[in-house]
Amino acid sequence: MRLLMEVIDALDRDEFTFFAQPQCDISTGKVVGAESLVRWQHREMGLISPSRFVPLLERAGMIHLLDQQVWEKVCRWMRSWMDRGNQPVPISINISRIDIISMDVPAFLSSLLEKYNLPAKYLKAEITESACAEEDDINDTIDRLQKAGFLVMMDDFGSGYSSLNMLKSIPVDVLKIDMRFLEIKEESEEQKGIGILESIINMARLMGIPVIVEGVETLRQENILRSMGCHYTQGFYHYKPLPIEQFELLLSDEGRLDFNGLHCKKVEPFHVRELIDETLFTDATVNSILGPAAVYDVYEGNIEVTRVNEQYFHLAGMNVFDNEGLAMKLWENVWDDDRPTLLGLFASAYERRPTGAEGAIHYVKPDGKVLWVQVRIFFLREQEEHRIYFVALSDITPLREKRRTLALRPVADMGTEEMERLEQYFGSLPCGYGLVRIDLDRSGKPMSFDIVYINQEMERMCGSEPQTLRHLAVKAFGDDQEQLLDKAYQSAYVGAVITHYTQSAITGHYLQLTLYQYGHGYAACLLQDMTNMQIYERASAACCWPIGRAAACRSENGSCSIKPMP
């Protein structure tokens, strides 16, 4: 009672104000609108949050007294912002169930628009889900608000009362879902929460209703929402509710705003669920698209296959009808050395949801042939001690073989044995390694070079095409083939150690290339990715200005001792 009296006094003393929390487009991060949130600026206690007094006023049937003040403040501010020559983004106001019972909300809001000469498109009405669920004449209020030009949003959808059926019977323009109600933060409940969220978003999309997800606090949550096809978010991850001066600062940077309003985007990202729900895909089509795939059950260090598609049988070289003991067979056929790798992939797929984990393993077919198989693993769910995963596989043996033939291409005076030795020593080095043979003409001048070996890292950095490799090597020497040949000659025949830098036009990475003699006529080439070093140097050069620059330039001949990479 005492608090209620204080609130009523505070209304008289004009102690209520509002903060604005921006709503953002998930793909651009731009601000598409904001929500006004009341705050009590108490003389002694400072800022008081609405959870302390809004429910109390609602119970006392007096919330409309506060809301009328808040809504008017929003309109007054909007007018002043426009009078200062700015374009506003739409602001939503909160409407309680009790507001709808105790006053004519559409009429009051229309009178405010008139008083402050504002177009209705700048105000959005947020009505809580409970009001939608409990009020019989809610449709009439929504209808009148929409006819007056306001956008109507259902707030806190999914918080308890709502059913998806409600969406059909209550014609709102936008849905707001609060993630926090779905307990997505609780590790154990996460999958369930995400499932609910995804169904709501899918359903809303099919009905053409835009969705704003509230309470988004982390990049991880934002990424999950993006992958579900959600377009708008509101939450601490982007902005907390801002005092109006700070909100104005944000609004004055028009590059951060998006005036296109909320909509269900026409060009949709790809949503498999919709295609399946609409039965555009048959099982056969899905299986062809997926390729070999299986469901694995991992428990207490065991791995069992519980479901496979036909493509999986083909890959594994098994007969579709011969699935006796299949569960264990498929695991046992993974090469011994690769089993820890596979277990590691399952563990990291569990950690990294929903992205999954990826890697390559050897698989021994019943006929003894060894396949290189690329596996992509996604965690599905957990039941007691069992973790269930979806695994997509592809046979990459031909690709690996192509690499080996390139890597182990025997040249005139270098036998296969030597090549295998190279692979053994340099194959898995963590930097790029290549071997170049320099051919001389009759007068003993360098004539051409031939790449005779590259290791795995070199292939990863530059590709396995000899032409690309040659191009990159030439580019490192200022696009001068002759110069490169000369340097390679210096290394291969004279024993010089030469280092150059280049930036890959394909990946944009900075590479360091060092040539040294491998044997008479052969230059070994070490390639290192220096991108991180380059970034580090730039960052440190920028932050120690001007002291760093003075120190760096204080060499004896007066030239700068830290040189930028070409």
Where along the sequence are the contacts to ligand C2E (CB under 6 A)?
A: 21, 37-38, 49-51, 54, 63, 67, 70, 94, 96, 126, 155-156, 178, 214-217, 234-236, 241
Among the listed residues 67, 99, 129, 155, the single contact to Mg ion using CB under 5 A: 155
Which of the ranges 16-24, 93-101, 262-270, 550-558 carries the binding residues for Mg ion, by CB under 5 A? 93-101
Interacting partner of 529 out of Mg ion, ligand C2E, none (Cβ under 5 to 8 A depending on kind): none
Q: Which is nearer to ligand C2E, 116 or 281 (CB)?
A: 116
Contact 527, 513 (CB under 8 A): yes
Cβ of residue 202: shortest distance to ligand C2E, in angstroms? 22
Q: Which of 52, 31, 34, 27 has the alpha carbon at shortest distance from 16? A: 52
Interacting partner of 215 out of ligand C2E, Mg ion, none (Cβ under 5 to 8 A depending on kind): ligand C2E
Q: Which is nearer to ligand C2E, 216 or 485 (CB)?
A: 216
Among the listed residues 94, 455, 491, 502, the single contact to Mg ion using CB under 5 A: 94
Cβ of residue 144: shortest distance to ligand C2E, in angstroms? 19
Cβ of residue 491: shortest distance to ligand C2E, in angstroms? 59
The H or E element that residue 151 is part of is strand 151-157
Q: Which is nearer to ligand C2E, 156 or 173 (CB)?
A: 156
Contact 377, 346 (CB under 8 A): yes
Cβ of residue 351: shortest distance to ligand C2E, in angstroms? 24
Cβ of residue 128: shortest distance to ligand C2E, in angstroms? 6
What is the bridge-based pairing of β-strands 386-395 and 370-383?
antiparallel
Q: Which is nearer to ligand C2E, 156 or 529 (CB)?
A: 156
Residues 201-220 close enough to bind Mg ion by CB under 5 A: 214
Contact 130, 97 (CB under 8 A): yes
Contact 216, 179 (CB under 8 A): yes
3-state helix, strand, coil in the chain (%, to 5): 45, 25, 30
Q: Which of 499, 440, 450 has the alpha carbon at shortest distance from 470? A: 450
Interacting partner of 23 out of ligand C2E, Mg ion, none (Cβ under 5 to 8 A depending on kind): none
Rounded-to-integer distance, Cα 484 and Cα 78, Å? 67
Contact 483, 467 (CB under 8 A): no
Cβ of residue 129: shortest distance to Mg ion, in angstroms? 9
> Which residues are within 8 A (CB) of 253 and not within 5 positions of it... i.e. 6 or more apart?
none
Amino acid at the residue 562: I
Contact 53, 252 (CB under 8 A): no
Q: Which of 440, 450, 425, 536 has the alpha carbon at shortest distance from 493? A: 440
Contact 149, 185 (CB under 8 A): no
Residues in the chain: 566
Interacting partner of 213 out of ligand C2E, Mg ion, none (Cβ under 5 to 8 A depending on kind): none
Which of the ranges 74-82, 94-102, 494-502, 549-557 carries the binding residues for Mg ion, by CB under 5 A? 94-102
Hey, what are 506's tokens? 């394909």
Contact 127, 142 (CB under 8 A): yes
Phi then psi for residue 299, to 5 deg, are -150, 135
The binding track of 406-425 with respect to Mg ion, each residue x by CB under 5 A or -, is --------------------
Interacting partner of 132 out of ligand C2E, Mg ion, none (Cβ under 5 to 8 A depending on kind): none
Interacting partner of 292 out of ligand C2E, Mg ion, none (Cβ under 5 to 8 A depending on kind): none
> Residue 188 CB: number of other CB atoms within 10 A?
8
Q: Which is nearer to ligand C2E, 201 or 305 (CB)?
A: 201
Cβ of residue 262: shortest distance to Mg ion, in angstroms? 14
Among the listed residues 67, 126, 173, 198, the single contact to Mg ion using CB under 5 A: 126
Q: Name the residue whose CB lies closest to ligand C2E.
A: 235
Contact 366, 317 (CB under 8 A): yes
Residues 432-451 close enough to bind Mg ion by CB under 5 A: none
Rounded-to-integer distance, Cα 508 and Cα 462, Å? 11
Residue 156 engages Mg ion in binding (rule: CB under 5 A): yes
Q: Which is nearer to ligand C2E, 22 or 432 (CB)?
A: 22
Interacting partner of 21 out of Mg ion, ligand C2E, none (Cβ under 5 to 8 A depending on kind): ligand C2E
Cβ of residue 107: shortest distance to ligand C2E, in angstroms? 18
Q: Which of 512, 524, 454, 521 has the alpha carbon at shortest distance from 489? A: 521
Interacting partner of 152 out of ligand C2E, Mg ion, none (Cβ under 5 to 8 A depending on kind): none
Interacting partner of 217 out of Mg ion, ligand C2E, none (Cβ under 5 to 8 A depending on kind): ligand C2E
Cβ of residue 34: shortest distance to ligand C2E, in angstroms? 11
Interacting partner of 67 out of Mg ion, ligand C2E, none (Cβ under 5 to 8 A depending on kind): ligand C2E
Interacting partner of 241 out of Mg ion, ligand C2E, none (Cβ under 5 to 8 A depending on kind): ligand C2E
Interacting partner of 457 out of Mg ion, ligand C2E, none (Cβ under 5 to 8 A depending on kind): none
Contact 200, 164 (CB under 8 A): yes
Hey, what are 462's tokens? 């530059």
Q: Which of 172, 192, 174 has the alpha carbon at shortest distance from 182? A: 192
Place of tokens 């959808």: 157
Q: Which of 525, 514, 499, 498 has the alpha carbon at shortest distance from 436? A: 525
Binding site for Mg ion (CB under 5 A): 94, 126, 155-156, 178, 214
